[in-house]
Amino acid sequence: MSKKQRLHPAAIFFTLLKTIKELVFSIGVIGFLAFKDAGLIYFLIGTSVLILAVVVFSALSWYRYTYRLEEGELRIEYGILIRKKRYISKNRIQSIDLTQNIGHRIFKLVKVNIETAGSGVGTEASLKAVKLEMGEALREELKTVQKPIENDERNEGTNYNLPKQKITTKRLFLAGTTSGSIGILFVIMTFLFSELEQFIPDSYYENTFQTIISFSIIIIAVLILALLLILWLLGIAGTMIKFGKFTITKNNEELFITRGLLEKKQTTIPIRRIQAVGIDESILRQPLGYVTVYAEVAGGTIEKGEDFSTILFPIMKKSEVDGFLNKFLPDYVSNRNDLIGLPENAKTFYIIRSTILLLIALIAMLFFIPQFIWVPTILLLICLYMGLLRYKDAGFRIDHEQLTLRYRVINRKTIILFHKRIQSFEKKQHMIQKNASLATIKTSIVSKFGTGKHYKIKDLAVEDIMELTSWYSYRD
């Protein structure tokens, strides 16, 4: 690989497809205006010229893009008019991820994403399309670790005898049904509709409105339930596609995660980069006893569609967490069921913060539109319950160099981290808290793409915060 290599010619197609996808909305708007003013011929000519230019650009970009391994560096040269060179030292590389979408699988290719400590929001380097064997060889050459993950059918049956755990179809379906993604999909649909409504004639709104009001309440309720059911099914499908065939494997000091049905993604996580391990219990999953285990990893990147935290396992029984951590991250096993909670007088603060806005809305509606007073009343009761949950769940525990924090916004989160990973420790106390002998703490660690991740627990007892402060200030 010391000679200059080019990407697979399929990279031309991938670049072309991506560019057209980014331009399709603009082309659609231009097309609408062209049809509106009877300028179809000009629209077709302009579209043809644009597509031709994109094809030429994609081909030239592929031809001018070369890479090679030389003297412990990955050397990349690219650029059509302005030639650019990027040298990535082997010692700077944090992880190498291999991704296969449907197009890659057809041509038996792989996309290689290379991350360094200073990658920022994007990857340090991305080889869009190389042969699968070349991608594996690059990973082995740059990382010099044993490859534990079976990448295709050729490796089936190979026993690497490494700690490994896969998700079952039953658990994957349960993860989809309890993902809570229905709300996210509803917001996305609302946004898309708001963007497209300017192109929809006003008469369409009038006809639709007249049709809806002609329906009975029962039919309207059925339509709403059908829409929610469709969104729920889409959420299940999205989760199963994203986390299908999820497998985590440990090899020496690295974790390897493979997931995805349509787009197969392989992620490498050096254990030394893990800053904290979290256990997430959503409102839907907590009563069923299921959790999600994730990690905060220093450095890395945020790619389109990726989470800010790295999922170590999408869903498992709460009782299975310690066994999972013992297998993959034994240092992060903690006594999470014996935390120091909040004092009794902190309950009032949590209730007030959770209900004050709804209480004001309730009073306002009582004067102006009392017939709808039931709406803020129901929301007030929900927020009151959430405030009590936040008070009940908050707490901490110190075990030598290990710190366990628990808090809740909507989901209950338990964070396990170590003294050496904490970048800053902050105590805040306003006047009312001071009179009640309470205060707030905030700890910060380095998270994905180099930014800080913050964990805050409000209204701890002052004596408990003094214990935390002494623990953090202590140095061996």
Q: For every one of its 476 residues, what pLDDT tens digit does the chain have, with 9 covering 90 and above?
A: 678 889 999 989 888 888 887 777 666 656 655 555 556 677 777 778 888 888 899 899 999 999 998 888 889 999 888 888 888 888 878 778 888 888 888 888 999 988 876 555 556 788 999 998 888 888 888 865 444 444 444 444 444 578 999 999 999 999 988 886 655 555 555 555 555 555 555 555 556 656 655 656 677 677 778 877 887 888 888 888 889 999 999 988 889 999 988 888 888 888 988 999 999 999 889 999 999 999 998 865 545 445 578 899 999 999 999 999 999 999 999 988 899 999 999 999 999 999 998 888 888 888 888 777 888 888 889 999 999 999 999 999 999 899 999 999 999 999 999 999 999 999 999 999 999 999 999 999 987 655 678 999 999 999 999 999 999 987 55
Cβ pair 301, 119 in contact under 8 A: yes
Q: Is 301 helix (H, G, I), strand (E, B) or coil?
A: coil
328 and 447 part of one domain: yes
Q: Judging by beta carbons within 10 Å of its beta carbon (0-12, 13-18, 19+), is residue 439 exposed, middle or buried?
A: buried
229 and 297 part of one domain: no
Strands 424-428 and 438-446: antiparallel
61 and 9 part of one domain: yes
Q: Evaluate whether residue 154 is within a structural domain.
A: no
Please say which residue of 220, 243, 266 terminates a domain: 243
Q: Evaluate whether residue 156 is within a structural domain.
A: no
Please say which residue of 128, 144, 160 terminates a domain: 144
For the stretch 78-126, pLDDT in tens is 988 888 888 888 887 877 888 888 888 888 899 998 887 655 555 678 8
Cβ pair 394, 412 in contact under 8 A: no
pLDDT of residue 151: 47
Q: Evaluate whether residue 382 is within a structural domain.
A: yes
Report the amino acid identity of residue 246.
F
pLDDT of residue 303: 52
Number of domains in the chain: 4
Q: Evaluate whether residue 283 is within a structural domain.
A: yes
pLDDT of residue 304: 47
pLDDT of residue 406: 96
329 and 404 part of one domain: yes
Q: Evaluate whether residue 278 is within a structural domain.
A: yes
Whole-number Å distance between alpha carbons of 403 and 422: 10
256 and 337 part of one domain: yes
Q: What share of the chain is helix, strand, coil (3-state, %, to 5)?
A: 50, 30, 25
Instruction: Write out the H or E segment, with its range, that includes residue 126.
Output: strand 125-131
pLDDT of residue 264: 86
72 and 107 part of one domain: yes
Q: Evaluate whether residue 186 is within a structural domain.
A: yes
> What CATH number is associated with residue 13?
2.30.29
15 and 93 part of one domain: yes
For the stretch 221-272, pLDDT in tens is 777 788 778 878 888 888 888 899 999 999 888 899 999 888 888 888 889 8
332 and 199 part of one domain: no
Q: Evaluate whether residue 318 is within a structural domain.
A: yes
Q: Evaluate whether residue 294 is within a structural domain.
A: yes
Facing residues of 299 across strands? 448
pLDDT of residue 158: 47
414 and 467 part of one domain: yes
290 and 419 part of one domain: yes
Instruction: Write out the H or E segment, with its range, that includes residue 290.
Output: strand 290-297
pLDDT of residue 125: 83
290 and 425 part of one domain: yes
195 and 292 part of one domain: no
- Which pTM value belongs to this model? 0.75
Torsion angle, alpha carbons of 40, 44, 45, 49, to 10: 150
Domain containing residue 373: 346-392
pLDDT of residue 198: 53
Whole-number Å distance between alpha carbons of 60 and 353: 59
